[in-house]
Structure 1
């Protein structure tokens, strides 16, 4: 029995590691550029080149599909828009110089959000994720939009994250996530999955700030651990990311049915 569960754990670890190829490449590149800076361009610009190259390689190697690349591009734009706003409001900054910086934000930063989408898409495919009792789009889209807007509006009105978190548990109370490892299917409450991914992103954020990817105000005089309160931000951001991917998967899943209906009507 122990060997069976050990084998399952190794297989799950392998699938998770393969799902993290893109974010792993980002952190590895940040580490290498910190240890041995490349000549010719600032580190932020090298990161942009590396991120684009990794995406091309992943698609060419079959590690990522064209549909997944489209989702990642959407997340890059959404993340870049959020970065421009948050840097403008002084939430954090990018202290190093760069040629490809707009409004103080290096263009590669959008890929850090895209790497979250890449992980979700890869894990969805590799672990054969299936959702049970997914709420109506009216609730999921509205909640996702409200969470995203709260990242911006809390600078002017009270922060509603805890209210939104409470609504999250109400909306997804009955939703379960099923994933497959080998021949065994496992079940997990969806909110627990959100929390686990958010926690590991918080750990990655500590690594990223230590590597100089960006810097919070309390890190101006030297690196210190990212506030535990940021976990709630990542927890909510994971929800937005997951909702977008799930809705796109839902829309794509409807296409064959529509085509089949059109074919039957033509006949």
Structure 2
């Protein structure tokens, strides 16, 4: 029965870590079924996201440190959205007052929700990473991944090369997480894939609820191509690297062991 309790605890902590993404999914579902006359759907979703963000901070479900990371990823995601919509990769067909160059501002919160999950899971599971590569490698690979999202429209898609480099760079990196009185471990590259896969599942739910539309979904909804799992995997890598490097910098004042990333303490 001990493993059942551990499984329940794991699910409960994961659910708490997913509060912000769940709110976004809820907003997508509710606004698809109900509407407020005179208020475009995209603008209503933005209002819900803003209230949720404020509420999480007020009720201490999120720390100020985590909010900083989330805001950073909101900007990174919004920049990517502006470019991708311009290139016709996907679209937001519904009207809205808060659309900029065809992109509703709420879309940045979808990327921010990924960072929110990573930050909260890190804190709730007391994550520590052993064998963290040198900053020159992690910064270089995350920059290359982000640029590839843009440059593949012009010079080809090098995601498989980048994924190969990821395996090399993080081959010896292990993530440790605490579940009750036990500390478990997992290769970091495996956690990249698992998170990317579940985000792909969430993406299918999101497109079904009309969060955005791919060109082949304009007339009838279809399952998002399996190749998108690799896109989300690479996006997760950027998120984890940003969070981990910030934690490393903050933990540096306490003198962390070489090659390790320690957890943030509580908010100051």
**Aligned counterparts of 2:3 and 2:120: Cα–Cα separation in 1:** 23
Aligned partner (choices 235, 247, 250) of residue 249 of structure 1: 247
**Aligned counterparts of 1:209 and 1:46: Cα–Cα separation in 2:** 17
Displacement after TM superposition at 1:39 (Å):
2.7
- TM-score, length-normalised on structure 1? 0.94
The yes-or-no answer on 1:160 pairing with 2:168 is no
Aligned partner (choices 178, 191, 212) of residue 214 of structure 1: 212
RMSD: 1.0
Aligned partner (choices 45, 66, 88) of residue 43 of structure 2: 45
Displacement after TM superposition at 1:38 (Å):
2.4
Alignment of 1:137-176 (within 5 A): 137-176=135-174
Displacement after TM superposition at 1:255 (Å):
3.3
**Aligned counterparts of 2:36 and 2:56: Cα–Cα separation in 1:** 23
| Cross-structure match for 1:121 | 119
Alignment of 1:190-201 (within 5 A): 190-201=188-199
Deviations 1:219-247 (A, max 9, x none): 11111110001111001110011101101
Alignment of 1:223-234 (within 5 A): 223-234=221-232
Deviations 1:9-36 (A, max 9, x none): 0000000000000000000110011011
**Aligned counterparts of 2:40 and 2:181: Cα–Cα separation in 1:** 47
Worse-superposed segment, 5-14 or 216-225: 216-225
Q: What's the secondary structure of 2:177's corresponding residue?
A: strand
Aligned residues: 256
- TM-score, length-normalised on structure 2? 0.94
Deviations 1:131-165 (A, max 9, x none): 00000000000000000000000000011000000
Displacement after TM superposition at 1:45 (Å):
0.4
Worse-superposed segment, 183-192 or 38-47: 38-47
Q: What's the secondary structure of 2:178's corresponding residue?
A: strand
Runs of 4+ deviating beyond 2 Å:
255-258
The yes-or-no answer on 1:66 pairing with 2:64 is yes
Aligned partner (choices 113, 130, 141) of residue 128 of structure 2: 130
| Cross-structure match for 1:27 | 25
| Cross-structure match for 1:7 | 5
| Cross-structure match for 1:261 | none
Displacement after TM superposition at 1:178 (Å):
0.3
Displacement after TM superposition at 1:257 (Å):
5.0
The structure whose Rg is larger is 1
**Aligned counterparts of 2:196 and 2:37: Cα–Cα separation in 1:** 35
**Aligned counterparts of 1:159 and 1:131: Cα–Cα separation in 2:** 30
Structure 2 runs not aligned, ≥5 long: 257-268
Q: What's the secondary structure of 2:91's corresponding residue?
A: coil
Q: What's the secondary structure of 2:110's corresponding residue?
A: helix
Worse-superposed segment, 60-69 or 39-48: 39-48
Structure 1 runs not aligned, ≥5 long: 259-267
**Aligned counterparts of 2:156 and 2:95: Cα–Cα separation in 1:** 34
